[in-house]
Amino acid sequence: MRHRNATVKLGRKSAHLRALFAGLVCNLIEHGRIRTTLPKARVVRSWADRMVTLGKRGTLADRRLAVQRLRRPERVARLFRDIAPAFADRKGGYTRVLKLGRRGGDGAEMALVEWTNYTPPEPRKKKTEKKAEEKKAAT
């Protein structure tokens, strides 16, 4: 029995899991939100929260630990420079998981993982709207 074993296997070997979660956390750092399955989202939330905690402490050893786990120094630099200072006054709960429903192909439960201070970018304007604004500005 697997009593008190908190690791999530997801049908993969341990090295594959570490690579998967490192990639998901790096994408979360880059884009601010990611869409994935619910079991992966729950694990990514804990990984991302640990990385932000390392970023808030900000020592060289913490930076090296983050690079060791995420394997992308440019993402770690952005984490330490931009994301961690934004959570300086917060003691935890840096990410949120929003359920999206089931995926059409296989029925997997989908979720959205995002930073709690995430604000989505404004939607892009269509070409017709841009042309209408240009005409108004020209007259």
Q: What is the CATH number of domain 14-138?
A: 3.90.1030.10
**How would residue 30 be classed by pLDDT, with cut points 50, 70 and 90?**
very high
Residues 104-133, mean pLDDT to the nearest whole number? 87
The residues, ordered by sequence, that sit 6+ positions from 41 with a Cβ below 8 Å of its Cβ are: 97, 111, 112, 113
Please state the rounded mean pLDDT for residues 67-84.
97
Confidence of residue 52 (pLDDT cuts 50, 70, 90): very high
Task: Give the helix/strand (H/E) hosting 98.
Answer: strand 95-102
Give the tens place of pLDDT for each residue, 107-118: 999 999 999 998
